[in-house]
């Protein structure tokens, strides 16, 4: 597989799962679902959060496995402790590209962060 085709899900995704989506809206909310809409993204967006039925008018799913169709890219915005499990679910769903928006991995001043980063790398591979 060429480098260009490997980057396509990141650069030109037709569908995006936003794991850890939230209903907060506005300038300080860092709402990925809202930001995608404001930037003119035309593809399918699937909010994922088990605590909500709907986010910004879109049906919300409890897990990526519940999404009815194919997904090109997952954007993961969750606490560090559950990221590896989500990446594993993405792989099981067939999602081959993921962006983790987070901190507290090897950048943290604790051993747990380093361990979680190593675990994430192994799951992603």
pLDDT digits (tens, 9 = 90+) for 84-97: 999 999 999 999 99
| Residue recorded with tokens 């915005």 | 77
Q: Is the pLDDT of residue 2 over 80?
A: no
- Main-chain dihedrals φ then ψ at residue 59, nearest 5 degrees: -60, 135
Domain of 81, in residue numbers? 3-124
Instruction: Provide the sign of the torsion angle of the four alpha carbons 44, 11, 1, 100, taken in this order.
Output: negative
Q: Residue 21: name the closest of 43, 45, 1 by CA.
A: 45
How many domains does the chain divide into?
A: 1
CATH classification at residue 10: 3.40.50.720
* pTM metric for this prediction: 0.90
Q: What is the DSSP letter of 61?
A: B
Q: Is the pLDDT of residue 6 over 90?
A: no
Q: Round to whole Å and give the CA distance between 16 and 19.
A: 9
Q: Round to whole Å and give the CA distance between 83 and 111.
A: 16
């Amino acid at each position: 597989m060429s480098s260009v085709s490997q980057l396509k899900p990141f650069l030109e995704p037709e569908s995006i799962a936003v794991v850890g989506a939230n209903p907060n809206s506005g300038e300080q909310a860092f709402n990925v679902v809202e930001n995608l809409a404001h930037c003119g993204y035309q593809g399918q967006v699937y909010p994922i959060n088990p605590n909500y039925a709907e986010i910004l008018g879109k049906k919300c799913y409890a897990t990526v496995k519940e999404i009815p169709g194919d997904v090109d890219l997952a954007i993961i915005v969750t606490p560090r402790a559950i990221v590896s499990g989500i990446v594993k679910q993405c792989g099981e769903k067939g999602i081959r590209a993921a962006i983790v928006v987070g901190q507290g991995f090897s950048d943290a001043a604790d051993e747990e962060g380093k361990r979680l980063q190593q675990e994430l790398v192994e799951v992603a591979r």
